[in-house]
Amino acid sequence: MAQSSLDVLLKGSSGKSTRGLLRIIILLTIAAAAVASRLFSVIRFESIIHEFDPWFNFRATKYLVQNGFYSFWDWFDDRMLPPSQCLRVVRSPRYHRAALIQFLPHLGTWHPLGRVTGGTLYPGLMVTSGVIYHILRLLTIPVDIRNVCVLLAPGFSGLTALAMYLLTREMSHSPSAGLLAAAFMGITPGYISRSVAGSYDNEAIAIFLLVFTFFLWIKAVKNGSIMWGALTALFYGYMVSAWGGYVFITNLIPLHVFVLLCMGRYSSRLYISYTTCDHMSALGVFGLIQLVAFAEFVRAYLPGKQFQKLLTSMVLLTFGLGFTGLVLLSVSGVIAPWSGRFYSLWDTGYAKIHIPIIASVSEHQPTAWPAFFFDLNFLIWLFPAGVFMCFQNLKDEHVFVIIYAVLSSYFAGVMVRLMLTLTPIVCVAAALALSTIFDSFLVMTKPTPESKEKANADKSKAFSSTKKPVVGIYSYFSKAIVTGSLTIYLLMFVAHCTWVTSNAYSSPSVVLASRLPDGSQHIIDDYREAYYWLRQNTEDNAKIMSWWDYGYQIGGMADRPTLVDNNTWNNTHIATVGKAMSSREEVSYPILRQHDVDYVLVVFGGLSSGIWPDEIKERDFFTARGEYRVDEEATPTMKNSLMYKMSYYNYNSLFPAGQAVDRVRGVKLPAESPTLNTLEEAFTSENWIIRIFKVKDLDNFGRDHSNAVSFDKDLKRKRATKKKGPRVLRTE
């Protein structure tokens, strides 16, 4: 009885809808798992924007939500002045931008230069969250823009999983491949690393757009439908507005077309889909496809063999001409389409020599090989298998997978950051491989000998390479072994993903957690402590100088203008700040005065009580100077540098005389505190991670600061000796 009722559910048309329903439920569960696994940091800490760049995106989004799209577009970073105040200036024809920069000298970040924000960012992310925010507000759901921003990345990851399902389903007839790919995409650490709750960066939505654009593209190529082509173009445009990585698609899709053409696979479907979603930088291929269309037309009048030769030679000739032209133009400097980051893709040594700032960012370093296993786990060894499957069954869409796989593996090897673009294709390929295995090994019924015979008969008819080999497993034992071991791999994968997500990728880095000796969690919140102090207790336009990493955070949390920030558009300015930080006080002070600096912020963190992330010491000191010592044997240059003085000023008074120790760096410090003449300590956070110093004004008597300080010291000493005399009672 049970058997038959199950049959009713699983067979025929009702079986189809049962499976459909099941598929939807599975997909929704996968999406939910994708979202849930990204919420570690929200649960462990709070709903907070992470790291550095997301703080700028968040601030920009707030500006967009408050002031509307048009003023956002014209936003000259002025720390959220009401648009009426800055826009009047911007729109006035009398001032072009250069004049404007002088017009608002004391307001913006990148003081005193300013930054034209609207033109230097990808607005897709901000507009997306702005739209979501306004829709929710329209439904009168009271949601904070911060929560929209924090949860945007997990939400889009859920969508990415769905898009992944759609994309993979186009690649394989196996229904399980899509579901597997969706599940992989949902939880693989390679993607989670950039999309945990709070990492509000362009990648958060870009990967969804990437996968979905590819899906639409494949769909368009398969169907030759204008609608799919148009949709591809639409999403492609969205993608361009959201992420600098769009060059990847701009190159990948034309390359796909190009390869298809070289393979002689031109068809009207390809023509329609590609011309519908034409892209500007792929002009060459666009021209080419027109040529090929013409050639196709010619073919009708030419014998096949001859034509084939003609076509191939024409294609290669055109491409060769175009490529040499491009190289020549680039070399001669007529067009400069490649940014420094892009160069470093081709020559990994380029950045180190030419743009140390780009090279200094850890995510622009070449990938270390364990990172592949860390981020992709067992998918990385299924990946080649999946690509091989594509060769077996070489349709247009499989060509796409192969091109994508080759390109992105190269890029991922060059730059850690581009692991992100590799992840989707790894998921597709691994899912293809795994689903093939499962489809062969999870069949309960034994293949009948006839079918094998039939297969042999088929084989003789067709080429063996284009034919799918008939596989049939007879022994239940081997079936159980293979499925069992793969299930264990899958379970280990889930465990690994959860572990990596929880331990490696879910720290907001604004808030640090450490363990107290009794095992309870202790939260170190020094960054926000100092930023909030700045926000509440300094003048509204007090200029803060700090190392550039902290620029966005100061802008976002302290709401004060900074000299430099993470948008490293002006290296000279950054170098100036670096010089001010690492020079002697006498050299630094004029620089500080020239730039109207009111406060100097340094990240120190010498007094630690728990486990510290390495970045604290590294970011502030290592990147600035390469190698250094802080102990008694430090060079005089080091000891006299502003940064050293600021870091260790007054630090020794926490310890008994002569026993001052920097616990993070594990060194003993000189017994004497450095003396600061031109700065005074304004605030130090609880764990000494952040120290803020106020730049002294010029001396009232026109002395230089070191004289003034030593004069005051003498005075104090005299007073102290005077006090020792007999006390005189006041008489009234």
Partner 1 sequence: MRFFTATVLGLLTSSLAAATNLTSPSRLALPADFKPQQVFKNTNLVRNTNLEKGYVRETINVVVENIDKQAQTDYYIPFPSDVFERVGGFEVRDKKATDKGRFVVDATEAVSTSGNQYFIVHLPEPLAPKSQITLGISYSVLNSLSPRPATIGQSDKQYLHYAFSAYVPSAYQTITQKTKVKFPSTDVPDYTTTSDLKSGADPERKGATYTYGPYDTAKVVPGTEYPIAVRYEFTNPVVTVHLLERDLEVSHWGGNLATEDRYWLRNNGSELTSQFSRVDWTFANYQRAPTSAVREITYPLKPGSVDPYFIDDIGNVSTSRYRPGNGKTAGNLELKPRYPIFGGWNYSFKVGWNNDLAAFLRETAKPDSWVLKVPFIQGPKASEGVQYERVVVRVVLPEGAHNVRFQTAEGSSSNGLPGANQIHASLSSFKTFMDTLGRTTLTLEVDGLTDEARDAELIVTYDYTLMDALRKPLTLFGGLLSVFIALWAISNIDVSIKKR
Q: Are 436 and 412 in contact (CB under 8 A)?
A: no
- Judged by CB, which is closer to partner 1: 418, or 695? 695
**Is position 362 an interface residue for partner 1 (rule: CB under 8 A)?**
no
Query: Which of residues 308, 456, 650, 675 is near partner 1 by CB under 8 A?
Result: 650
Query: Which of residues 40, 45, 217, 228 is near partner 1 by CB under 8 A?
Result: 45
- Judged by CB, which is closer to partner 1: 400, or 649? 649
Query: Which of residues 277, 282, 557, 603 is near partner 1 by CB under 8 A?
Result: 557
- Judged by CB, which is closer to partner 1: 174, or 685? 685
Q: How far is it, in rounded angstroms, from Cα 84 to Cα 82? A: 5
Peptide bond preceding 613: is omega within 30 degrees of 0, i.e. cis? no
Q: Are 431 and 171 in contact (CB under 8 A)?
A: no
Min dist. Cβ of residue 581 to partner 1 (A): 20
Q: Which of residues 482-541 bind partner 1 (CB under 8 A)?
A: 511, 523, 525, 528-529, 531-533, 535-537
Q: How far is it, in rounded angstroms, from Cα 16 to Cα 170? A: 19
Min dist. Cβ of residue 181 to partner 1 (A): 27
Min dist. Cβ of residue 66 to partner 1 (A): 15
Min dist. Cβ of residue 41 to partner 1 (A): 12
Q: How far is it, in rounded angstroms, from Cα 428 to Cα 204? A: 19
Min dist. Cβ of residue 681 to partner 1 (A): 6
Q: Which secondary-structure segment (H or E) carries 250?
A: helix 247-262
**Is position 688 an interface residue for partner 1 (rule: CB under 8 A)?**
yes
Min dist. Cβ of residue 231 to partner 1 (A): 14
Query: Which of residues 1, 98, 141, 444 is near partner 1 by CB under 8 A?
Result: 141
- Judged by CB, which is closer to partner 1: 142, or 725? 142
Min dist. Cβ of residue 537 to partner 1 (A): 5
User: Could you give phi then psi for residue 625, rounded to 5 degrees?
Assistant: -135, 0
Strand order in the sheet with 544-545: 544-545, 599-603, 690-695, 679-684
Q: Which secondary-structure segment (H or E) carries 319?
A: helix 304-332
Q: How far is it, in rounded angstroms, from Cα 169 to Cα 161? A: 12
Q: Which of residues 569-628 bind partner 1 (CB under 8 A)?
A: none
Q: 661: which 2 tokens?
A: 């120790």
Q: Which secondary-structure segment (H or E) carries 84?
A: helix 83-91
Min dist. Cβ of residue 152 to partner 1 (A): 17
The span of 251-259, 449-457, 462-470, 650-658 binding partner 1 (CB under 8 A) equals 650-658
Residues 6+ apart with CB under 8 A from 724: none
**Is position 46 an interface residue for partner 1 (rule: CB under 8 A)?**
yes
CA 203 to chain centre: 5
Query: Which of residues 27, 30, 48, 153 is near partner 1 by CB under 8 A?
Result: 48
Min dist. Cβ of residue 531 to partner 1 (A): 7
Min dist. Cβ of residue 51 to partner 1 (A): 14
**Is position 682 an interface residue for partner 1 (rule: CB under 8 A)?**
yes
**Is position 139 an interface residue for partner 1 (rule: CB under 8 A)?**
yes
Q: How far is it, in rounded angstroms, from Cα 177 to Cα 117? A: 43
**Is position 672 an interface residue for partner 1 (rule: CB under 8 A)?**
no
**Is position 685 an interface residue for partner 1 (rule: CB under 8 A)?**
yes
- Residue 121's nearest CA partner among 66, 73, 78 is 73
Residues 187-226, one symbol each (x = binds partner 1 by CB under 8 A, - = not), give: ----------------------------------------
Strands 679-684 vs 690-695: parallel, antiparallel or unpaired: antiparallel
Please report, as a single letter, which amino acid is at residue 161.
Answer: A
The number of beta carbons lying within 10 Å of the beta carbon of residue 90 is 19
Give the total of residues touching partner 1 (CB under 8 A): 33
268-276 vs 283-299: helix axis angle to the nearest 10?
Answer: 150
Q: 30: which 2 tokens?
A: 């996968």
The span of 138-146, 452-460, 635-643, 709-717 binding partner 1 (CB under 8 A) equals 138-146
**Is position 44 an interface residue for partner 1 (rule: CB under 8 A)?**
no
Rounded to the nearest 5 percent, the helix, strand and coil shares of the chain are 65, 5, 30
- Judged by CB, which is closer to partner 1: 583, or 673? 673
Min dist. Cβ of residue 556 to partner 1 (A): 8
Cα–Cα distances (Å) from 247 to 281, 339, 388, in that order, read 9, 11, 27
The span of 134-142, 161-169, 305-313, 351-359 binding partner 1 (CB under 8 A) equals 134-142
**Is position 352 an interface residue for partner 1 (rule: CB under 8 A)?**
no
- Residue 576's nearest CA partner among 541, 549, 604, 547 is 547
124-138 vs 145-171: helix axis angle to the nearest 10?
Answer: 110
Min dist. Cβ of residue 727 to partner 1 (A): 16
User: By the criterion CB under 8 A, which residues form the site for partner 1?
Assistant: 45-48, 139-142, 511, 523, 525, 528-529, 531-533, 535-537, 556-557, 650, 653-654, 680-686, 688, 694
